[in-house]
Amino acid sequence: MLAELVAEGEKLAELVEYDADRHTDVLEGVEFEKWTAKVILYLERNHPHSSLTAKAIEQTSGKIGYDEYQFLLGLMKAFKEME
Protein backbone atom coordinates (compact mmCIF):
# COMPACT_ATOMS: atom_id res chain seq x y z
CA MET A 1 0.00 0.00 0.00
CA LEU A 2 2.78 2.44 0.87
CA ALA A 3 4.62 1.85 -2.39
CA GLU A 4 1.35 2.43 -4.27
CA LEU A 5 0.77 5.73 -2.46
CA VAL A 6 4.28 6.91 -3.33
CA ALA A 7 3.87 5.92 -6.98
CA GLU A 8 0.46 7.57 -7.16
CA GLY A 9 1.86 10.71 -5.55
CA GLU A 10 4.75 10.87 -7.98
CA LYS A 11 2.33 10.56 -10.89
CA LEU A 12 0.41 13.59 -9.59
CA ALA A 13 3.46 15.72 -10.39
CA GLU A 14 2.25 15.58 -14.00
CA LEU A 15 -0.76 17.67 -12.96
CA VAL A 16 1.26 20.52 -11.42
CA GLU A 17 0.74 23.80 -13.24
CA TYR A 18 2.33 27.18 -12.81
CA ASP A 19 -0.14 29.93 -11.91
CA ALA A 20 1.30 33.18 -13.27
CA ASP A 21 -1.21 35.29 -11.33
CA ARG A 22 -0.11 33.80 -8.00
CA HIS A 23 3.51 33.20 -9.11
CA THR A 24 3.48 29.68 -7.74
CA ASP A 25 3.03 26.05 -8.68
CA VAL A 26 -0.52 24.77 -8.21
CA LEU A 27 -1.89 21.28 -7.77
CA GLU A 28 -5.60 20.79 -7.33
CA GLY A 29 -8.44 18.56 -8.45
CA VAL A 30 -10.25 15.38 -7.53
CA GLU A 31 -7.28 13.04 -8.05
CA PHE A 32 -5.11 15.15 -5.75
CA GLU A 33 -7.84 15.32 -3.11
CA LYS A 34 -8.39 11.56 -3.32
CA TRP A 35 -4.66 10.85 -2.94
CA THR A 36 -4.43 13.22 0.03
CA ALA A 37 -7.34 11.43 1.74
CA LYS A 38 -5.72 8.04 1.14
CA VAL A 39 -2.43 9.28 2.61
CA ILE A 40 -4.18 10.57 5.75
CA LEU A 41 -6.12 7.30 6.13
CA TYR A 42 -2.87 5.33 5.76
CA LEU A 43 -1.17 7.46 8.40
CA GLU A 44 -4.10 7.23 10.83
CA ARG A 45 -4.24 3.44 10.48
CA ASN A 46 -0.52 2.69 10.50
CA HIS A 47 1.04 5.51 12.52
CA PRO A 48 -1.74 6.86 14.75
CA HIS A 49 0.56 8.17 17.49
CA SER A 50 3.22 9.70 15.27
CA SER A 51 3.87 13.42 15.46
CA LEU A 52 4.21 13.34 11.67
CA THR A 53 0.66 12.00 11.34
CA ALA A 54 -0.56 14.86 13.51
CA LYS A 55 1.40 17.35 11.38
CA ALA A 56 -0.02 15.89 8.15
CA ILE A 57 -3.56 16.15 9.47
CA GLU A 58 -2.97 19.71 10.62
CA GLN A 59 -1.42 20.77 7.29
CA THR A 60 -4.30 19.32 5.27
CA SER A 61 -7.13 20.65 7.42
CA GLY A 62 -7.65 23.74 5.27
CA LYS A 63 -6.98 24.59 1.66
CA ILE A 64 -4.38 22.18 0.39
CA GLY A 65 -2.11 22.68 -2.56
CA TYR A 66 1.35 22.18 -3.94
CA ASP A 67 3.25 22.78 -0.69
CA GLU A 68 1.14 20.23 1.15
CA TYR A 69 1.60 17.80 -1.73
CA GLN A 70 5.37 18.08 -1.42
CA PHE A 71 5.21 17.51 2.33
CA LEU A 72 2.93 14.47 2.03
CA LEU A 73 4.94 12.89 -0.78
CA GLY A 74 8.16 13.42 1.13
CA LEU A 75 6.57 11.91 4.23
CA MET A 76 5.38 8.85 2.32
CA LYS A 77 8.83 8.39 0.80
CA ALA A 78 10.43 8.62 4.24
CA PHE A 79 8.09 6.00 5.68
CA LYS A 80 8.80 3.76 2.68
CA GLU A 81 12.56 4.05 3.22
CA MET A 82 12.13 3.21 6.91
CA GLU A 83 10.22 -0.02 6.22
| Number of domain units in the chain | 1
Q: How far apart are CA 56 and CA 73, in angstroms?
A: 11
Look at residue 45 in the predicted model and tell me its pLDDT.
97
Look at residue 19 in the predicted model and tell me its pLDDT.
87
Domain span at residue 58?
Answer: 2-82
**pLDDT values of the chain reduced to their tens digit, one per residue, 83 residues:** 999 999 999 999 999 999 898 888 989 899 999 999 999 999 999 999 999 999 999 999 888 889 999 999 999 999 999 98
Look at residue 39 in the predicted model and tell me its pLDDT.
97
Look at residue 13 in the predicted model and tell me its pLDDT.
94
Question: Apex CA 13: angle with CA 30 and CA 58, to 5°?
Answer: 60
